[in-house]
Amino acid sequence: MNKRFRFVHFLFILFLSISFLSGCSFRDIDNRAFVLAIAVDDSGDTKKPYKVTIKVVIPSGNIKQEGVKYAFFSEKGVSISEALALIRATIDKDIDFSHTKIIIVSKSLLDRNLGNVTDFFHRRRDIQLVSWIGIAEKRAKDILKMEPKSQSSVTTPLFNFFSRTAVQSPYITPMYLFDFRRQQIETGIDPVLPIIKIDKKEKRCVIHRALVIGDGKYVELTPQQTMIYNILRGNIERFNAEIKEKNGKFKYGVFIDSTSIYYKINRENSKQPIINYKIRHQGILEESSKYTESNLLKEYGKETSKIAKKMILELLTYFQKQNVDPLGFGLRYKATNLHTGDTYKEWESLYPQAKFTLDINVNIISTGKME
């Protein structure tokens, strides 16, 4: 009897004490302000250089009819965390970064050489490392605030660009936060971030360039270079290529739907390594200004290969000249050579001398027509 009484007492006290415990991290989902995207801008102020803007989703009871509404909050601060702490005081809900998918940093902030801007995002537990990071050409805040014409997604429109579940374009260079950090710290590979521009008149995002973040320098790529980089990096398998005549007139377009890329660093000559690329493309003719014949497919392929070879070589030597390594040759060199203590230094002296050879074959399998 006594034992039973004690047990009931124990239960009573347990439940009482548990009811006091609930305050700590139990927070209902409707009391959280979900941040969809963070933009970090240069405030122009020297003392408080960061201007942080967050895009918060306001849940509505009826998403189907009312759609989703957003609110924007921004503050200046000495650091990103200070700015966010100031924002926290202005929202009646708890800021929750668990659904943050996009981080945009403005280019001007990079130019100011403030050290590691993105450090904050790596340290916070609740910002997921699978969010994407991008560079804003002008103000990151404007990109956040812009609502494109075609918007239908509940999350930010940029999500669809980067996740490749909707948009598949060879011009877009998505970069995960964790991958960015990894490539930033690792010697022998330089991260490449997409540059996001907005077209205010047309209300749309234009993402077709990229920025190589080298060792203390930034190299901007043109749209075409971005595309070739994405192909070489294996980011994308399907793309279009246009073949022009000598006078610049459009001759025909090729749509590549499968690609295999492979390279090897040949060290037979210890002073001058040779980087052998082996590229195989397969695709169809997509558009042509003239009548095409199926028995000439091989010739079209040869012609395309020739032009592709030229463009790829141009880009590779451009990287070499700028002394950036976004394709990770250095990393490959480090990984495949016997470790000598300073393998990377060795590579640093070898890279400017490296020679590229290309074995490229474009196989066009169809004219795309019924014959």
**Segment contacting another protein by CB under 8 A, of 23-31, 113-121, 182-190, 220-228:** 23-31
Distance of CA 234 to the CA centre of its chain: 13
Number of H helices, E strands in the chain: 12, 13
CA distance 274 to 258: 26
Residues 89-108 that bind another protein (CB under 8 A): 96, 98-99, 101
* Minimum separation from the CB atom of position 21 to another protein (A): 7
Q: Which residues pair with 192 in a beta bridge?
A: 212
Which of 59, 164, 242, 366 is the binder for another protein (CB under 8 A)?
59
Using rule CB under 8 A, residue 21 touches another protein: yes
Name the 3-class secondary structure at 95.
Answer: strand
**Segment contacting another protein by CB under 8 A, of 22-30, 240-248, 252-260, 295-303:** 22-30
CA distance 238 to 358: 20
* Minimum separation from the CB atom of position 194 to another protein (A): 21
Which of 26, 216, 271, 342 is the binder for another protein (CB under 8 A)?
26
Which of 8, 11, 13, 63 is the binder for another protein (CB under 8 A)?
63
**Segment contacting another protein by CB under 8 A, of 60-68, 173-181, 215-223, 329-337:** 60-68
* Minimum separation from the CB atom of position 164 to another protein (A): 16
Which of 1, 30, 123, 149 is the binder for another protein (CB under 8 A)?
30
Using rule CB under 8 A, residue 60 touches another protein: yes
- With contact defined as beta carbons under 8 Å apart, do 156 and 140 qualify? no
Which of 6, 9, 27, 306 is the binder for another protein (CB under 8 A)?
27
Q: By rule CB under 8 A, what count of residues binds another protein?
A: 27
Using rule CB under 8 A, residue 295 touches another protein: no
CA distance 175 to 162: 8
CA distance 259 to 235: 11
Sequence-ordered strand ranges (E) for the chain: 32-42, 50-58, 69-77, 94-96, 102-106, 132-136, 192-199, 204-213, 218-221, 239-244, 250-266, 274-288, 355-366
CA distance 190 to 330: 10
CA nearest 283: which of 238, 230, 232, 231? 238
* Minimum separation from the CB atom of position 259 to another protein (A): 31
Which of 71, 154, 166, 335 is the binder for another protein (CB under 8 A)?
154
Using rule CB under 8 A, residue 291 touches another protein: no
Query: Considering Cα of 192, then 341, then 266, then 257, what sign does the dihedral take?
Result: negative
Which of 1, 16, 18, 370 is the binder for another protein (CB under 8 A)?
18
Residues 112-131 that bind another protein (CB under 8 A): 126, 128
Using rule CB under 8 A, residue 29 touches another protein: yes
Our CB check for another protein shows the closer of 57 and 256 to be: 57
Q: Which residues pair with 356 in a beta bridge?
A: 275
CA distance 254 to 304: 8
Report which DSSP code applies to 293. Answer: -
* Minimum separation from the CB atom of position 62 to another protein (A): 7
CA distance 163 to 221: 21
Burial of 108 (0-12, 13-18, 19+ CB in 10 A): middle
Which of 81, 108, 151, 155 is the binder for another protein (CB under 8 A)?
155
Using rule CB under 8 A, residue 32 touches another protein: yes
Which of 3, 4, 22, 290 is the binder for another protein (CB under 8 A)?
22
**Segment contacting another protein by CB under 8 A, of 14-22, 38-46, 184-192, 213-221:** 14-22
Question: Using CB under 8 A as the criterion, which residues of the chain lie in contact with another protein when the complex forms?
Answer: 18, 21-22, 25-30, 32, 34, 36, 57, 59-63, 68, 96, 98-99, 101, 126, 128, 154-155
